[in-house]
Chains A and B, each alone.
Chain A
Amino acid sequence: MDQMKIYILYAFGILMCVAGVIYLASEYIKYLSDAGKLTILMLMVIMFASFGKYFEERGL
């Protein structure tokens, strides 16, 4: 039961982080140039691929 509570807290924390990042991105994306938006898109793709590979190797 305690383990379940910890998972719920993890899920809540991750949800809040994702919501915060989405909110900040929606607020500040308008200040970026087209080249900046494209660069960030590419960096995000590489970032998610790298983190995915890392967690895959760790077996999570």
Chain B
Amino acid sequence: MAKVKNLGLYIGLLCIIGIMAVFFFDAYIGIYDTLYVTEEGWEREITFDIPYPEHIGTEYGETIYFTYVVTNNMFEEYNTYIEASVWRGDDKNLTIFSANESITPFDNTTVKWVLETEKLEPNTNYILKINTDTFERIIRMNFHQPPKEVIIYAERGTPLPEIEKEEG
């Protein structure tokens, strides 16, 4: 068998291409989720790729619309339980959505739910937890309510009471 010239070089280059292919393939294969939040008419995409929890802050009384997309980039069917719930500290206040979903390979499923902020309390820190069989996503929420009372400050220039000088 004739010896291929520069065989080591070609194998080495093929290995480099293989390493890059593994990176691309591994990044594509898997289960991914994305949340779309519409508050006060604005839609925001949350991909959960930052190391700290996302935050939703809107005015109390507004309705928040959620669209949660789970993508199955695997070769087998993915069955999962999806639950979205609102927590205040360690207490679960409200379950907004829960369902079992089955996603075929290289497909996605979209679930939607609505949060009426009037069901919660204003100016309170809440946590929205989205649980699936793979993920537990945490989003901080706070619904601010402007104060209803008008605070009237005293007029400036009010004369101070005279201080009697001690006669000594």
Query: Which chain A residues have a beta carbon within 8 Å of chain B's beta carbons?
Result: 28, 31-33, 36, 39-40, 43-44, 46-48, 50-55, 57
Contacts and interface: CB of A to CB of B under 8 A. Distances in A.
B22 A40 contact: yes
A28 B23 contact: yes
Contacts, number: 51
Closest 6 A/B residue pairs (Cβ): A54-B8, A47-B15, A36-B26, A50-B11, A50-B12, A53-B8
B6 interface: yes
Given A33-B26, A39-B22, A44 B15 contact: yes
Interface residues on B, range: 10 to 19
A39 B15 CA distance: 10
Interface in B9-41: 9, 11-12, 15-16, 18-19, 22-23, 25-27, 29-30
Contacts of B8: 50-55, 57
B15 to A, nearest CB: 3
Contacts of B27: 31
Nearest to B10: A50
A47 B12 CA distance: 4
Contact of B26 (A32, A48, A54): A32
